[in-house]
Structure 1
Amino acid sequence: MRVILGPMEGVVDHLMREMLTEINDYDLCVTEFVRVVDQLLPNSVFYRLCPELRQGGKTLSGTPVRVQLLGQDPHWLAENAHRAVQLGSPGIDINFGCPAKSVNKSRGGAVLLQDPALMYDIVKAVREATDPRLPVTAKVRLGWDDPEHCFEIADAVAQAGADEIVVHARTKTDGYKADAIKWDYIRQLKTKISQPIIANGEIWTYEDGQRCMEVTGSDALMVCRGAINLPNLGNVVKHNHAHMDWEHVLELLLKYSTYEIKGDKGLYYPNRIKQWFAYLRHEYPQAQALFSDIRAHNKAAPIVAILQQAQQDSVA
């Protein structure tokens, strides 16, 4: 089974990808989106969001990293896709799924689900502008507000030449509501298009992954939020590994702290670590108590001290 680490804007940056691919057998990562408006972006933008381009488009542990683009202009998306591939991206992913209001207001992400003809033009332009040996993929939702629209959406993307389609099995208006997941639509899509379909949404455990594959008949799985809740979710889903214990999570938190403080986002470390804790507390009760301690701090040093003390306490 292929398991892909999906993109999460502002969460799964290159440092998080580095760490999670080191401890999981992921087959692929997809970057946070590169926002394209009306110009060819400089190389520095691609290197900033995907420094793995400097090492053959892979993390240090060897997992391929595909650049994701978001925008609404077929010409400029094609130009930037060509550049990303030239710089070393092993393919291109196109974001048609982001539900954020700020993104949708500027005609990016999920808002394009209302315009399958434009989606077709975008995918076709990107496919024609890039090396045919490299995959062009698209990440979609079932529709804007009606899941029945998924058939027209998927057909447009498939007819335009996408090699694979990632389907988040909810509409834009569903947001991330757990009870709104509609895996059965992926099963129906599988009967209508020939391209491989990757299922995404509500995969938190090995059992979820198995049930999703059974219900959808999909060709692979993508995990996003669950991979932050449970750091070894990739191996849990793929190999039925035991859930990582809290002591090892603390080790990862301290390792991530080192990455962040030494890296180019050191100033953002307090916000990033709090954001991660907001996910971890769904899986680990211990994270809730620590979150209460760290949330008052806006500097790295006291947060790291709290984590170090918690690690000492856990082995005492």
Structure 2
Amino acid sequence: MNLLLAPMEGLLDASLRDVLTRTGGIDRCVSEFVRVTDTLLPERAFYRVVPELHNGGFTRAGVPVRVQLLGSDPACLADNAARLAGLSPHGVDLNFGCPAKCVNQSRGGAVLLDEPELIHTIVSRVRKAVPAHVVVSAKMRLGFNDDSVAEACALAIAQAGASELVIHARTKAHGYRPPAYWDRIAEVKSALSGFPAMKVVANGEIFSVADALRCREVTGCDDLMIGRGMVTNPGLALAIKAQGAVSWTQVLPLLGAFWEHVVERVERRHRAGRLKQWLNYLRNHYPEGQAAFDDLRLSNEVAHIEAWLLAHGATAQAGPPNWAHASAAMVPAPAEMELPC
């Protein structure tokens, strides 16, 4: 079984990928999307979103990162995929799942699920634009307003030459409301029986070992992608693989390492917000996380945050990777980013 760390725009960026993959259990990451419109992006645009490209495409813990592209112009996506391939990524992933309204209004993400023919063209053009050894994969939801064309979209992706498909078990209209419709992943997977080389990965509402076991049973998928569950419980991947757990004592140095990333990459006035954003997830699994969130939720003072981290032993055992110029551009605050995809 392989466990993939999900792309979550505005949350699970290079900083959190670095910290979460230190805990173990994750076999591969998919980056948050690189938006492609009508231009050929400079190399720095890829490095900004995926600074791991300066490290051979690996996180500090040695976990490979696949770069995700989002757009609707087949030719432009193909040109950008070709440029990206020259940076030696661990594959090119295509986003057909983002439910964010601003993305969909720009004809990106899940809205494309109403156009299986366009999806086929996009995947086909990207597949032809990159060398044969570069994996092309995709992530999709079950549909936009309903799941009536889920099989058609999956078949379009397979017929165009992709070798892996992650399916989030909800439509755009479902958003992130429980439940996840894992049974529909099983049906879509069955429709792909004529493409035995196509790997299908299940995604959606996996927050515990029991969830993971049930998801695998219902979907028939060996591999899973986890996102919010891993952000909430950094030991989830280890637990799913029956390799242990991560205690709050072990989380504290991860918070310290994450803060070092935040200091390096985020404007000072937004730093407290980034830490509280993660604590808001952690408090759902750790009682100590709730206490930490309560201590810090009203503070936006960097000095107060750093004093709290020091007082609670939340100091990094090893600092952030030396991505230098790749991380030089300051990133916006969470409120200015897109919703998780």
Segments of structure 2 that go 5 or more residues without pairing to the other structure are 315-341
Where relative contact order (Cα < 8 A, 6+ residues apart) is larger, the structure is 2
Any idea what SS the aligned residue of 1:120 has? Answer: helix
Q: Which amino acid aligns with 1:83?
A: R
Question: What is the CA–CA distance in structure 1 between the aligned matches of 2:221 and 2:309, rounded to whole Å?
Answer: 40
Deviation at residue 240 of structure 1 after TM alignment = 4.9
Deviation at residue 26 of structure 1 after TM alignment = 1.5
Segments of structure 1 that go 5 or more residues without pairing to the other structure are none
Deviation string 1:133-192 (CA, Å, 9 cap, x unpaired) is 12100100001121232111111111111111000000111011122x110111112221
Query: Which residue does the alignment assign to 1:225?
Result: 228
Query: Which residue does the alignment assign to 1:295?
Result: 297
Q: Which amino acid aligns with 1:245?
A: S
Residues 188-203 of structure 1: matches in 2 within 5 Å? 188-193=187-192, 194=195, 195-203=198-206
Residues 223-262 of structure 1: matches in 2 within 5 Å? 223-242=226-245, 244-261=246-263
Question: What is the CA–CA distance in structure 2 between the aligned matches of 1:56 and 1:249, rounded to whole Å?
Answer: 27
Query: Which residue does the alignment assign to 2:79?
Result: 79
Runs of 4 or more consecutive aligned structure 1 residues displaced over 3 Å after TM superposition = none
Deviation string 1:244-272 (CA, Å, 9 cap, x unpaired) is 222222221122112221x2225332121
State TM-score, norm by structure 1: 0.94
The question of whether the paired residues in 2 share the 8 Å contact of 1:110 and 1:141 is answered with yes
Deviation at residue 310 of structure 1 after TM alignment = 3.7
Query: Which residue does the alignment assign to 2:182?
Result: 183
Deviation at residue 311 of structure 1 after TM alignment = 4.2
Question: What is the CA–CA distance in structure 2 between the aligned matches of 1:213 and 1:50, rounded to whole Å?
Answer: 30
Query: Which residue does the alignment assign to 2:160?
Result: 160
The question of whether the paired residues in 2 share the 8 Å contact of 1:206 and 1:236 is answered with yes
Any idea what SS the aligned residue of 1:94 has? Answer: strand
Deviation string 1:210-240 (CA, Å, 9 cap, x unpaired) is 1111111113100011110001222122235
Question: What is the CA–CA distance in structure 2 between the aligned matches of 1:95 and 1:299, rounded to whole Å?
Answer: 37
The question of whether the paired residues in 2 share the 8 Å contact of 1:136 and 1:163 is answered with yes
Q: Which amino acid aligns with 1:183?
A: W
Q: Which amino acid aligns with 1:174?
A: H
Query: Which residue does the alignment assign to 2:332?
Result: none
State TM-score, norm by structure 2: 0.87
More helix by share: 1
Query: Which residue does the alignment assign to 1:265?
Result: 266
Query: Which residue does the alignment assign to 1:281?
Result: 283
Question: What is the CA–CA distance in structure 2 between the aligned matches of 1:8 and 1:177, rounded to whole Å?
Answer: 16
- Relative to structure 1, the CA distance from residue 240 to residue 206 in structure 2 (aligned partners, 3 Å threshold; closer, same or farther) is farther
Aligned-CA RMSD value: 1.5
Query: Which residue does the alignment assign to 1:12?
Result: 12
Deviation string 1:193-224 (CA, Å, 9 cap, x unpaired) is 12110000011111211111111111310001
